[in-house]
Amino acid sequence: MFERVAFTRRGLELFLLSSIFDVKNLCAHETTNPCFDKTMCDLTEYGDVRCSACPPGFKGNGIICEKVHSDPCETDNPCHPDSQCSSVNGMATCGPCPDHMTGNGKVCHSLDPCTRLEPCAKGVTCLLDTATKNGYTCGPCPLGTTGNGTVCFAMESKCQPNPCFDGVACVTEAGGYRCDPCPPGMVGNGKNCTVADPCASNPCYPGVNCYNSDSPARHFCGSCPYGMIGDGKVCQDSPCLPNPCYANVPCLIRNDGGYECGPCPWGMIGDGEICTEPLNHCSSNPCYPGVKCYNYREKAKCGNCPQGFTGNGVKCKRIHDLCTPSPCYPGVHCVSVWEGADAQFSCGQCPDGKMPVWVRSVLIFFCSIVMSFRYDWQRNLLLKH
């Protein structure tokens, strides 16, 4: 097989050289022979140089040939996985079998009698034992069976009837049985179980007393230590100790573990944690002279006007004296009577020998001996008949 050389730069060089050398002798010159092996060069009928295929053990296009490296241990390893494969003169050679196996390196057999013979009963562990004649030992038979490990037979169950505490599972073992743990809240070996003291495990916070009870938990914890809050089982520092609120203001613990302060003392304003004196609205003396001023948070409030005055306490005006001039009978004393900011008057007793005059059950402030009066209600006058 031959390949035609493309008219590349090298071909151009050959073409130029062919003009110098005899075309028939191109393969004879080192300069004009492009082949890997000079004996592979030949001329075509068209005068082109062509190279034959690469020699055995090489690959390429005849001009460039590379040696082929082939490792039979990598391409087709014939050895046992545990044997060493080596390439000798292009052929695979297997090393010896491992110590625990026998064979020619390509085929290896285990020397382990447990693997080769499987001498133990199903479910029984086989152990290598060079001290024994057979080179192995079988472990104990599975639960519920008895035997020497090589042969196992089912044995009578010791769990029928169940010898364990009510509700506790019984497990058959070689030579007998065992009971699972006692139910929650009880102690014992599984066969004999008794009610456990719920306080024996110290379920409460350190320093808190534990008490037995008939509740589902069968116990309850006392109060948390001073300065702490909680249910007695879990306690944490109280946010109210020391009291973060203003003096004499109560500290209240919220359900979320935080706190809030009560109202500020009377006469003060704030959130309970910070309290301040309110603005003194009475400092400007907004009330009428002699009227008491009451200071409230929003504003000042004035008391009643003085006796003989009327008004709202801020502004007061004198009330006319009802006894001046006296409405009473001449010589009868008139007395002003005050009820808060309102005033009335009262007349004393008539002189001796005289009596007060009544008109329509209303006492008129006149005195008479034998006089008859008529009261004109429309004109508000007392008329003598």
Q: What is the pLDDT of residues 211-235, one digit of tens each?
A: 988 777 778 999 988 888 888 898 8
pLDDT band at 365 (very low <50, low <70, confident <90, very high): low
pLDDT confidence of 200, banded at 50, 70, 90? confident
d(CA 280, CA 271): 19
pTM: 0.27
Q: Greater confidence, 145 or 12?
A: 145
Name the pLDDT band for 251 (thresholds 50, 70, 90).
very high
Mean per-residue pLDDT for 79-83? 89
pLDDT of residue 141: 87
Burial of 62 (0-12, 13-18, 19+ CB in 10 A): buried
Asked which of 79-83, 250-254, 347-351 is least confident by mean pLDDT, the reply is 347-351
Q: Which two tokens stand for residue 253?
A: 């613990």
SS3 label, residue 282: coil
Q: Is domain 76-110 in CATH 2.10.25.10, yes or no?
A: yes
* Mean pLDDT value across residues 72-76: 79
Q: Domains of the chain: which residue ranges?
A: 2-67, 76-110, 280-319, 334-384
Instruction: Identify the band that residue 287 occupies on the pLDDT scale cut at 50, 70 and 90.
Output: very high
Identical fold, 76-110 and 280-319: yes
The predicted structure's pLDDT at residue 361: 43
Average of pLDDT values for 76-94?
A: 85
pLDDT at 310: 84
Question: Is the pLDDT at 376 greater than 60, yes or no?
Answer: no
CA 187/CA 83 separation, integer angstroms: 60
Per-residue DSSP letters for 57-123? Answer: TEEESSSSEEE----HHHHS--S-TTS-EEEETTEEEE-PPPTTEEESSSSEEE--HHHHT--SPTT
Q: What is the pLDDT of residue 370?
A: 42
Q: Predicted confidence band at 384 (pLDDT cuts at 50, 70, 90)?
A: very low
Q: What's the mean pLDDT in 255-269?
A: 86
The CATH number corresponding to 280-319 among 2.60.40.10, 2.10.25.10, 3.40.50.1820, 3.30.420.40 equals: 2.10.25.10
Question: What does the pLDDT average to over 131-160?
Answer: 82
* Alpha helices per DSSP H over 282-351: none
Specify the pairing of strand 101-103 against strand 334-339: unpaired
Residue 198 to residue 58: CA distance in whole angstroms: 89
Report which secondary-structure segment, H or E, holds 13.
helix 9-18
What's the pLDDT at 31?
A: 76
Instruction: Give the Å distances, CA to CA, from 113 to 116, 140, 183.
Output: 5, 18, 47
Count of CB atoms within 10 A of residue 284's CB? 9
Confidence of residue 22 (pLDDT cuts 50, 70, 90): low
Distance CA 31, CA 25 (A): 11
Report which DSSP code applies to 27.
G
Per-residue confidence band for 362, with pLDDT thresholds at 50, 70 and 90: very low
Q: Which of 239, 248, 292 is nearest to 270 (CA)?
A: 248
d(CA 326, CA 24): 174
Q: Where is pLDDT greater, at 49 or 86?
A: 86
